[in-house]
Amino acid sequence: MALTPFTSPISLTQLRSNFDDKTATLLTNARAGAKDQVVSLYLASLTSGASEFSRSVAWTQQDDAELRLLMARVTDTGARAIGLALTVENGDTLFLVDHSIALSFNTVNGTTDQRTDYRTTTGTRVRLLKGVRYRLAFTNTSGGTVGGPLIANVQLRSIRRRA
Amino acid sequence: MSVPYVPHAFKDGDNLDLEKINDNLEAISRSIQRNLDARYTYSHIRFDLDGLTESSAEVLRELAIRRRGANNAVEVFAVELVIVGDGSGDVWTLACSDTTWPSITLTTVSGEEVTASSNIPVGVTSNSADLELTLSCSSTSTITRGYLIVHLRCDRGNQGSSHAGYFPTLVTSATANLAGTLDTELTNLGSAVARDTANDTDLRAELYMVRSLSAGSSRVFRVPSGARRIQAVVGYVVQAAGGSVDFEVASASGAFSTVTLSVNGAGATSRAVDSAGAAGDVIDADDPTDSADDETITITAATQTAVLAYLIVYWS
């Protein structure tokens, strides 16, 4: 809304309207800075018993971010038990507020898509914290090789920061 | 995020208390400054190192990055180097083309994941020249599994236009032409709010890559849709001359216009680069739990094997 200039006499309602308009714009701008991004993991295939380092990725958060979604999408030819977990690197679950952030499912002959939504109004909100190292890892506990590809995504929401 | 407010709500019939006006001017000045100060966004890109050896061509051991636009400031805020080597005691070094950045080293332990990191920032200063992070090793070594995570910090307050705040001139009982003075103050604070609105291009980067992609084949990455705006893509290719790699970023729901980029190979040991802008379409209505709304990133080696291809996608 355009600024409404004053004429004599000053209108108090107009003054309030001008202030309210600018604070509303500031709030809209601040909200617009909250955006989603993903941390992805792509595996061409996954053998049973593969070392953790070959089926995972770890990173240290440089900013706090809200966990929005955990997603796994796996293509295979048979029914194998697949797990996907987001954990704290040193096992200190306090940094996930003692919540298990994980998916487990059986593959089918084709593509399986599994997602857990952490945005639900009544659900627990989880925040990944700056300075904490997190790891996203697939597991294959059924034996054999998952043909792949295996795609995992963690969707995070962050806001603008002062530093 | 703090909620901007003014402490006093005026209405017709009240006395116009000048101290209340001053309270409001000072409060909105603080709110504007808080918004403008919130100028940084963080993200990270990951560059896979699997299968590299000390004798791999330098361009295969090197991550290049440039700004999406001249006025879109990006800095490398921190790096994490993770390597599982085939032997122990091999020292891998990560150095930067900006030699003011101190290199870091990592000594392998056979079959174990070893991490080295740096929290020294370095600026990505150009949208036409690359900042390069190069890995090297003086002994015989193969990286069984490894990746380089580059944490980026983007500054929306450096977009080529003013990002200045608002500092009010307070009114008193001696203020002449009160209406005119208030007009000036409201105009000035309105201009500062407009600067906050104009400098709204945050940047968050993601990197999608593949090594040894045979001619005619593709790799498709898939990510859930979310609240964001696609800004630009920068594609890097190492491929024999005569070949090309096609990059595509698409929204299954059509939430944003498909962005395509084709980069011609410049030789098996040379890096080619090109970029493409996007329409800046806002995505916020899609459902990330619905795979029909997913975004796909496709890398296709059109004619020759792509030794290395990666795409940096800049989102706002």
Tens-digit pLDDT profile for residues A63-115? 999 999 999 999 999 899 999 999 999 888 788 877 889 999 999 999 999 99
Closest Cα in chain B to A57: B147
pTM: 0.94
Residue A38 has its nearest CB partner, among B35, B182, B224, at B224
Average pLDDT of the residues in B298-315:
96
Nearest to A151 by CA among A57, A50, A36: A57
Please measure the distance between the N-terminal and C-terminal CA atoms of chain B and give it in whole angstroms: 18
With a pLDDT cut of 90, the percent of chain A lying above it is 72
- Mapped onto helix, strand or coil, the DSSP state of residue B225 is coil
Domain at B10-202: CATH code: 2.60.120
- Mapped onto helix, strand or coil, the DSSP state of residue A54 is helix
Beta-carbon separation of B288 and A155 below 8 A: yes
Enumerate residues 28 to 47 of chain B having a beta carbon within 8 A of any beta carbon in chain A.
28, 31-32, 35, 37-44, 46
Residue B209 has pLDDT above 80, yes or no: yes
A chain contacts of residue B84, beta-carbon cutoff 8 Å: 51, 53-54
Question: What residue segments make up the domains of chain A, in order of their start?
Answer: 35-158
How far is it, in rounded angstroms, from Cα B93 to Cα B135?
6
Nearest to A67 by CA among A146, A160, A157: A157
Q: How confident is the model at residue A34 (pLDDT cuts 50, 70, 90)?
A: very high
Closest Cα in chain A to B24: A19
Residue B215 has pLDDT above 60, yes or no: yes
Beta-carbon separation of B4 and A34 below 8 A: no
Q: Spelled out in words, what is the top-level CATH class assigned to the domain B210-316?
A: mainly beta
B257-281: pLDDT as tens digits = 999 999 999 999 999 999 999 888 8
Disruptive mutation site among B1, B30, B81, B106 for chain A (greatest number of A CBs within 10 Å): B1
DSSP type of residue A123: S
Sign of CA dihedral B269, B309, B207, B271: positive
Residue A50 CA: distances (Å) to CA of A41, A45, A70: 15, 10, 22
Task: Look at the block and give the residue holding tokens 């504007």.
Answer: B32
Beta-carbon separation of A8 and B179 below 8 A: yes
How far is it, in rounded angstroms, from Cα B316 to Cα B311?
16
User: Across the strands, what pairs with A55?
Assistant: none
- Output Rg (C-alpha) for chain A, integer angstroms: 23
Q: Does B147 touch chain A (CB under 8 A)?
A: yes
Nearest to B74 by CA among B45, B34, B105, B116: B45
Residue A5 has pLDDT above 80, yes or no: no
Q: Spelled out in words, what is the top-level CATH class assigned to the domain A35-158?
A: mainly beta
Q: Does B177 touch chain A (CB under 8 A)?
A: no
DSSP type of residue B306: E
**What pLDDT score was predicted for residue B285?**
77
Disruptive mutation site among B24, B193, B295 for chain A (greatest number of A CBs within 10 Å): B193
Nearest to A87 by CA among A79, A74, A97: A97
Which amino acid, one-letter code, is at A16?
A: R
For B221, the token pair is 């990455």
- Mapped onto helix, strand or coil, the DSSP state of residue A40 is strand
Residue B100 has pLDDT above 80, yes or no: yes
Which amino acid, one-letter code, is at A137?
A: A
Residue B312 near residue B297, CB atoms below 8 Å: no
Q: Minimal Cα–Cα distance from A6 to chain B, Å?
A: 6
**What pLDDT score was predicted for residue A25?**
95
For B193, the token pair is 């709010």
Residue A132 has pLDDT above 80, yes or no: yes
Q: How confident is the model at residue B208 (pLDDT cuts 50, 70, 90)?
A: very high
Q: What burial letters (b/e) apply to A61-80, b meaning 16+ CB within 10 Å?
A: bbbbbbbbbbbbbbbbeeeb
Beta-carbon separation of A151 and B78 below 8 A: no
Nearest to A155 by CA among A63, A67, A73: A67
Disruptive mutation site among B143, B211, B289, B311 for chain A (greatest number of A CBs within 10 Å): B289
Beta-carbon separation of B113 and A53 below 8 A: yes
Contact partners, residue B148, CB within 8 Å, separation at least 6:
B46, B47, B49, B63, B79, B80, B81, B82, B94, B133, B135
Residue B9 CA: distances (Å) to CA of A15, A18, A22: 9, 11, 13
Contact partners, residue B149, CB within 8 Å, separation at least 6:
A59, A60, B44, B45, B46, B47, B79, B80, B81, B82
A chain contacts of residue B115, beta-carbon cutoff 8 Å: 58
Beta-carbon separation of A69 and B28 below 8 A: no
Disruptive mutation site among A6, A22, A60 for chain B (greatest number of B CBs within 10 Å): A22
Cβ pairs A/B, distance under 8 A: 193
Please measure the distance between the N-terminal and C-terminal CA atoms of chain A and give it in whole angstroms: 31
Residue A2 has pLDDT above 80, yes or no: no
